[in-house]
Amino acid sequence: MIEALEEKLGHSFRNISLLKSALHHSSIKRYALQFERLEFLGDRILGTVIAEFIFDKFNVEEGTMAKMFSAFVCADSCKQVALKLGLDKHLVTAGNHLRTNETVLADTMESVLGAVFIDGGYDPAKAVIIRCWNDIFSCYDDVNYDPKTTLQEVCQRETGVAPQYEIISVTGQDHSPTFTVSASIGSERVTASGSSRKKAETLAAKLLLQKLSDR
């Protein structure tokens, strides 16, 4: 079963005892020291990787970066990833009820990340985090991240000019239209399509932000 967890993590341990230690919760006193040390380390590695990811992928203000960081590293996000990996099925605790405890699952996720770092170093730990947090990134993007507002902030800060949106075409049936719009700032221009003008503009803003960050 431990091999299945390695596969989900995307990391094959050279020292499998590290992973086993990470899965023995501190509620069992003889394992407390090692678990808590790995958790401490994993928490710091997660924070570093997430901060680097946000800096590289999103050309946004510090305040927005801080909100995104908090969402990505919070206990709920760690718990979601832990459940997706099935850590609750591998976790050894002083009581079975602890396997569904949000704090315990979040702490275990960080402990596992600490074990990956000790076993392989920063780059493998980063690869595991980016891989395992992908759904968290996507969910935040869909629910909380507003590309149009962010693009407005970036353009006002860097050029003092607001981005321009233009409807290029509307195709399809009246009950199921497809809007194609452009978003531009200066010489930079992208196009995107969506089932509504709002969706098309949101996607265009996201694409333009990505283009600006790649310059």
Reference 147, options 159, 165, 133, 129; nearest CA is 165
Quote the DSSP letter at residue 18: H
Is 110 annotated as catalytic? yes
Residue 31 DSSP label: G
What is the spatial distance between Cα 62 and Cα 51, in angstroms, rounded to a whole number? 11
> Would you list the DSSP string of 88-109?
HHH-B-SSGGGGG-HHHHHHHH
Catalytic site residue from 43, 107, 119, 201: 43
Catalytic option among 39, 88, 107, 110: 110
Query: Amino acid letter at 123?
Result: D
Catalytic (active site) residue 43: yes
Contacts of 28 (CB under 8 A, 6+ apart): 92, 93, 94
Torsion of the alpha carbons at 29, 35, 37 and 41, rounded to the nearest 10: -160
For residue 112, the surrounding DSSP H or E stretch is: helix 102-120
Which residue numbers are catalytic?
43, 110
